[in-house]
Amino acid sequence: MNSKLVYQLLLVISVMYFLAVLASVFPIMMSPMLFDAGENAAVWLIFISLLFFPVACIVALVLAWYYYRKQQLALSLKVILLPWLSIVGIIIGFVLA
C-alpha cells in the first residue's frame, strides 16, 4: 500500500472514531443499569466492552498515526482495528445474554 492511500484511510477512520467516541457517552452512562436484571458473565462482558470502546478508539488513533509517521504502514492499519475488539465483545455479550 502506498502512503497516500493509508493517509486517506486513517483520516476517514479518525473522523469516524471521533464521532463514535462522542456517541458512546450515552451508552456508557446507562451501562450500570445492565446489572439491574442480575449479574452474569455476559453482562460483565458488555459492561467492560462499553467502557473499553472510547479508550480503545483514542489509543488506536494515537498509535496508528504514530506508526504512520514512522512509515510502518501495515502496522498502522492493524492498530486502527483495535476498537473492533470492543465491538465484537459487545455483540458476543448480547448474544450470550
Instruction: Tell me which DSSP letter residue 75 carries.
Output: H
Mean pLDDT by 10 residues, the chain (97 residues): 92 97 94 90 94 96 96 95 95 92
**Strand (E) or helix (H) holding 67:** helix 41-69
Identify which of 17, 88, 90 has the alpha carbon closest to the alpha carbon of residue 47: 90
Query: Which pLDDT does position 11 carry in this prediction?
Result: 96
Query: Which pLDDT does position 40 carry in this prediction?
Result: 92
Query: Which pLDDT does position 69 carry in this prediction?
Result: 96
Query: Which pLDDT does position 1 carry in this prediction?
Result: 75
* Residue 82 φ/ψ, nearest 5 degrees: -55, -45
